[in-house]
Structures are given as C-alpha cells and as structure tokens.
Structure 1
Amino acid sequence: MTTVYSIDARIEVPVRDTEVTARVADAVENLFPNAEFEHEPGTLVAETHTLDPFSDQLHEQEILDTARREFAKGTTEDGFSFSLKKQAAFQGVINFSVGEPDELGDIEVTVTVREPTVEEYIDHIAPPTEDGRPVDPNGNRRR
C-alpha cells in the first residue's frame, strides 16, 4: 500500500533593501525547487506541496538527525516549522538556523500536514537513523 502525503509548506523570507528579490528567490528555489512565489512588501512568500527535493538534500548532506531534532522543536498538532540560513541556501546547502536570526533574516518554513500524521510525514522526509543510516519503521536500513 502506498502512502499519500498531503502537505502545504509556506516559506517566508525577508527581503532587505540591500538584496535583490530574484536572488532571494533563487536561494529558496535551491532548496525548494517546486515553490510558487508571491511578493509581499519586504517579504518573499512561497508555497509548495512537497518536501521531497528537500528530503533528498537532507539525505545527501547526511543531516537527518539534525533535521529531525529541528522539526521536533517546532512540532504542533497540525504540522511543524523550522528556520534555515539564507546565506547557506544561496549555495544550495541546508543549514538550520539556531539562536539569533541572521542580519538579513532567515528562511522560515511552516508545514501543515493533512495526510498522514505529522510524525509519519517527518519520518518520510527525515527517517530515523541507526549508525547514521536511515531505517524504516520495521528496522530495515534504506537508501
């Protein structure tokens, strides 16, 4: 049986006067290539309905445990949220923002999960690991 994932991810990024909006959009697209953009005064807002490319990057960078920790910090009944460093995103690298936001602001991501549960979706995009390798819920290594 295939699980159907139904999510909405809202991505908000401040655009400072010293920044070019298109470059900020490029940073977001580096991590969320399916994002659709809207421009609001001083803010770039994007929405996507899949985090699969972001998940692929988490696997490539081998930062699944870090991602799970950050997702857990921002978990609510309806979803989860997290912040990313804008400067790293310009380079196509995921770097979670902890502590004080950067001078130029962080990329704020809010994920609303409709199907399945929040925990199951987090396990899908950032599976638990054993010895640094992803494992599925049955304890088998994957990827």
Structure 2
Amino acid sequence: MIYSVDVRIVAPVRDTEVTDRVADAVSNLFPNAELEHEAGQLVAETHTLDPFSDRLHEQEILDTARREFEKRKTEEGFSFALKKQAAFKGVVNFAVGNPDELGDIDVHVTVREPSVDEFIAHIAPPTEDGRPVDTDRRD
C-alpha cells in the first residue's frame, strides 16, 4: 500500500536550552525529518513515520500510541505531543496533561493516502495479548 503523509514537528527552544540538544531530541525519533530553526522553536517536516513506528513496536506501546492518535484525530489526520527529555534519549513518551515547562514536541500528521484510520493501523496496529494482529507488517 502507498502512504502519502505530511508530518510537521514543532519543538519550542527555551532560552535555557541548547538548540542542538532539542534538534537531537527530534532527530532521535524522526531521523528523516528536515529541521529548520525559527525564532524560539525548531520546525521539522518528514513524509514517513516508519522509524517512529519502529520505536512504538520496540517499546511495545502500540495500544497507548493508538489511543493518543485517536484522541486528536480529524478527517485530515491526527496530532500528538511528546516529552522532549525522553525524546532526547530516543524514547517515545507521550505528553499528557499539562505541558512540560520546557514545552512538548508537537506532531501534526496530515494523511492523504490511505484513510486516517488505515494509516494509524499501519504505524500502530491493533494488538492481541500485546502482539500486533497484522503479522504481515512486522514481527
């Protein structure tokens, strides 16, 4: 199946932070993203979430990820927020509740092909007993 998505990642850079460390946090989870420095923030764009999906599988947090994606889903896509400090360590940790004082990494996904639901199932497939049901995709 062909996937057509635009992913926009925005990470605030506070005065007390080193910009390169924030860039590393984004790149750790989205290695294909092209980063640009803007006033007070980093903005990145990519057209794949496969490396991010790999992390979700490795950390065995597919159900959590799917719940987070569903919370802010629209007809055009979905969005979610990640903790910056965990991302710096290469770990996916969804930001829930109040934003971190350094700000969270906001991710906005626009899905053109296939449907939003099909794309969510691709990157965070439904599980049974903690294992992805879609065995064609991964182990």
Judge same fold: TM > 0.5, yes or no. yes
Structure 2 match to 1:121: 119
| SS of alignment partner, residue 38 of structure 1 | strand
Given residue 123 of structure 1, which amino acid in structure 2 is its aligned partner?
A: A
Q: TM-score, normalised by structure 2?
A: 0.97
User: CA offsets per residue over residues 84-105 of structure 1, 9 Å max, x none?
Assistant: 0001001100000000000000
Given residue 79 of structure 2, which amino acid in structure 1 is its aligned partner?
A: S
Structure 1 residue ranges without an equivalent (≥5): none
RMSD: 1.3
Seq. identity, %? 78
Label 1:141 to 1:16 Cα distance change in 2 as closer, same or farther (>3 A).
closer
- Runs of 4+ that moved beyond 3 A: 139-142
Structure 1 match to 2:45: 47
Given residue 75 of structure 1, which amino acid in structure 2 is its aligned partner?
A: K
Label 1:140 to 1:13 Cα distance change in 2 as closer, same or farther (>3 A).
closer
Q: TM-score, normalised by structure 1?
A: 0.94
Label 1:24 to 1:141 Cα distance change in 2 as closer, same or farther (>3 A).
closer
Structure 2 residue ranges without an equivalent (≥5): none
Label 1:67 to 1:77 Cα distance change in 2 as closer, same or farther (>3 A).
same
